[in-house]
Amino acid sequence: MPKTMKAAVFVEPGKIELREKTVPEVGPLDALLRITTTTICGTDVHIMKGEYPVAEGLTIGHEPVGVIERLGSGVKGYREGQRVIAGAITPSGWSNACLCGRCSQDGAGTKHGWRPMGGWRFGNTIDGCQAEYVLVPDAMTNLAAVPDNLTDEQVLMCPDIMSTGFSGAESGKVQIGDTVAVFAQGPIGLCATAGAKLMGATTIIAVDRVPERLAIARRLGADHLVDFSKVNPVQEIMRLTDGRGVDVAIEALGAQSTFEGALRVLRPGGTLSSLGVYSTDLTIPYDAFAAGLGDHTIVTTLCPGGKERMRRLMEVIANGRLDLKPLVTHRFKLDQVVEAYDLFSHQRDGVMKVAIVP
């Protein structure tokens, strides 16, 4: 077992660097994973740009697929050498928030048991996954065994992208027969499109301007494709719905334009399900909000985590309900992580998601 490892760390706004760090010590309830595949998330790009603050020297990344290298003395039900994933959200499992079903807002150790975004630890408050090894806290809450018949790339979207995208449809309470609009067809938006389909939506409208993304949206369940570089998306969605509007609008980018568009296409009493990470204030237009009298619901969601969530997502893949392998468009070695960030952050060469391996 080596004493040091390579890790991608945040240095300063605009700079991610590969450094040597000490391999973490394993506490009684922890597990040390040897990373076999990970990826870069749009949130990591926000961190790199300084739009979301983290400590200098923190290892970035929150989407691990790996093998258990060491287990804490108190961890039961797992074995070293076992293939596992852990969610981007790693809740304690015992805080007030967790016991209320809000694991993403885990406040373990706080007076009241709640903390905004407290379940998001990897690459936020503790070292993350873009490294050779990662320490998984509260392992019995967070480790999910990977079925033998699934590859790393098949489950790579489960820790965050698939979980977050599906949660957009779940929080929006999509029902059988609903009409749903999904604004932005990046990886999370595409998973929101797929989630809406699985939940029973019968008309799904995908909004983007990148032909390759719109084509994948069609494969994942979109019935109508709206290229916002060619038409006004609000006007087009209202035309497609004969002026009614949609039951659920999912915002999957984190921008004023997409948030406002999602609000403007809602029918009275509809739900705006927001998945975006916003770096500036949002404005709610008076008319789109019906002066606050339109019975609209606006709900936000942080990626659900924990081992049961991961198990369920892998069941969807294992049983052939969804194939997200096409989202992995580029592959890099960990030694090339700076190059991978450059490609991904500038969205060159049709990149959707990258796979990073040791």
Per-residue pLDDT at 277 = 86
The answer to whether residues 119 and 91 touch, using CB atoms and an 8 Å cutoff, is yes
Tally: H helices and E strands in the chain: 11, 15
Each residue of 274-309: pLDDT tens digit? 998 888 899 999 999 999 999 999 999 999 999 999
pTM of the shown model: 0.95
- Mean pLDDT across the chain: 97
> Rounded distance, CA 233 to CA 135, Å?
44
> Rounded distance, CA 195 to CA 103, Å?
20
Each residue of 139-195: pLDDT tens digit? 999 999 999 999 999 999 999 999 999 999 999 999 999 999 999 999 999 999 999
> Rounded distance, CA 330 to CA 310, Å?
24
Each residue of 118-141: pLDDT tens digit? 999 999 999 999 999 999 999 999
